[in-house]
Amino acid sequence: MLRAASTVNAHVVGESFHQFAPQGVTGILSIAESHISIHTWPEHGYAAADIFTCGDHTMAERAAAVIIEALCCRDPEITQIRRGLTGAHVVELQQAHHLN
């Protein structure tokens, strides 16, 4: 995850990891741009990562590619969820505010 953050020039401001016995890890990198987290279940050949970023939309894609490569994923699934207030959402909120 640190390599993923470094690759996309994210600014790490904190980190926390926990190694489970006998296997598996959960961890989070707090980055100035938001966070990168991972939870692994090696006994099931499964890992789930969340790359939440603000700004450059390619940052998450590039960070995901680094994590996928590091975990030697054979069949990665990527779901992109657009979060935040942009475009029409901002206009709707502004209009609602003026109505009150």
Report the catalytic residues.
34, 39, 54
Q: In what order do the strands lie in the sheet with 34-41?
A: 12-19, 25-31, 34-41, 46-53
Find out whether 65 and 46 touch, Cβ atoms under 8 Å.
no
- 3-state helix/strand/coil string of 28-64: EEEECCEEEEEEEEHHHCEEEEEEEECCCCHHHHHHH
Q: Residues 55, 83: contact at Cβ < 8 Å? A: no
